[in-house]
Amino acid sequence: MPNTNLLLTFNTGSSTLKIGLFQYGAHGARRIGKGLVDFSRSPLTFHLTEGPTAVDIGLEAEGGEDLRAVIAEIFEMLTAHFDMAALRVVGHRVVHGGDRFAGPAVLDDANIDELDKLVALAPLHQPQALRVIRAVKNLRPALAQTASFDTAFHATQSDLVRRFALPRALHDRGIKRYGFHGLSYKFIARQLRDQAPEVAAGNVIVAHLGNGVSLCALDGGESRDCSMGFSTLDGIPMATRCGTLDPGVLLYLLRTSGRTSGNLEEMLYYRSGLLGVSGISGDMRDLLKDRRREAAEAVDLFTLRIAGEISRMTATLGGLDGLVFTAGIGEHQPEVRASICNRLRWLGVDLELDENSADALIISTPESKIRTFVIPTDEEQIIADEALSLLSGT
């Protein structure tokens, strides 16, 4: 049966492309399919899920600087499963909106040019998103496109929180803390209002623990602080990214090792984090199975830094009522959650072990001072909802 009023979302990462198919009407957008392309694997495969059915479809196109062939082939594959003539709008996740975009935006030529100016602020993610945007524009030039920004959710942070202790002229040029994973935090804030409105109205810290990792401090559902600041390297050690690093380390390496900025960038983004510390893997699942000391040390460093950042953010908020775990590790790794919560017992976090092992919604005991939750995130739903709001003029 043909679909009416379809909406397509692209959630573009540095090496992956997540795709959502939504049908929309008076009651909003409802997901009817999803897809994934992993550009780190060759040949490229389009993993498509429609209801209970999942298929892997090999792509003839190759990834690279020009994604027009990839997007054209994806559209062709989708046409075999959905009525793509009913497609009305495409929504994109864009990592960086700078100070220019504090909410979703229609992707006209002027706004696409503005996104180009922000490439230097997100050199791995922004160019890839722009390649997808331009590929869709080339394929379907009349199709409406919108952008949802990871940074926009954090526009509610104070100037004090966003400021680095650098000369004021640099702050005025845009060198400040922006915060990321905002689409995930927006979804979690909404879900928490539905699941536990009394907690959502207070002080909550959300831990987005996936391949990329950050924490966000919420006050009444609004962002007040984020562990990621100027770039997606900041904050907690991630799968292959370093997290917070003394800038003196970089100065030392530049002076003494003959490294270039390009060498350092490659190391900080791709050879650090859990992979760098363990020397084994950047995948938490691999590290939890591995009995070697280096694997355990990487996991311990990860949980130590998260607990420390939660403690710091509690000071920003002036107290803590709730803690939420989300994203791949946060939703599916009870050992990691337990280690973090054990380090926060002094703060009043008391974990219910059976509920934690079952990935239950509430994993804290009734006596815990801090209500602790596991809530799956859905960035594509936020992209779809924001695209629909722009399409309908609301």
- Cα–Cα distance measured from residue 56 to residue 46, given in angstroms and rounded to the nearest whole number: 6
> Distances from the Cα of 60 to the Cαs of 71, 92, 206, in angstroms?
11, 24, 40
- Cα–Cα distance measured from residue 108 to residue 296, given in angstroms and rounded to the nearest whole number: 49
Quick check: 101 and 18 in contact, CB under 8 A?
no
* Total H helices, total E strands in the chain: 16, 13
28-38 and 45-50 as β-strands: parallel, antiparallel, unpaired? antiparallel
Q: How buried is 44 (Cβ within 10 angstroms: 0-12 exposed, 13-18 middle, 19+ buried)? A: buried
Closest CA to 327 of 197, 181, 204: 181
State the CB neighbour count (10 A cutoff) for residue 132: 24
Collapsed DSSP state (helix, strand, coil) of residue 122 = coil
Quick check: 284 and 329 in contact, CB under 8 A?
yes
246 is catalytic: no
Q: Which of 150, 225, 234, 378 is catalytic?
A: 150
Kindly list the catalytic residues.
150
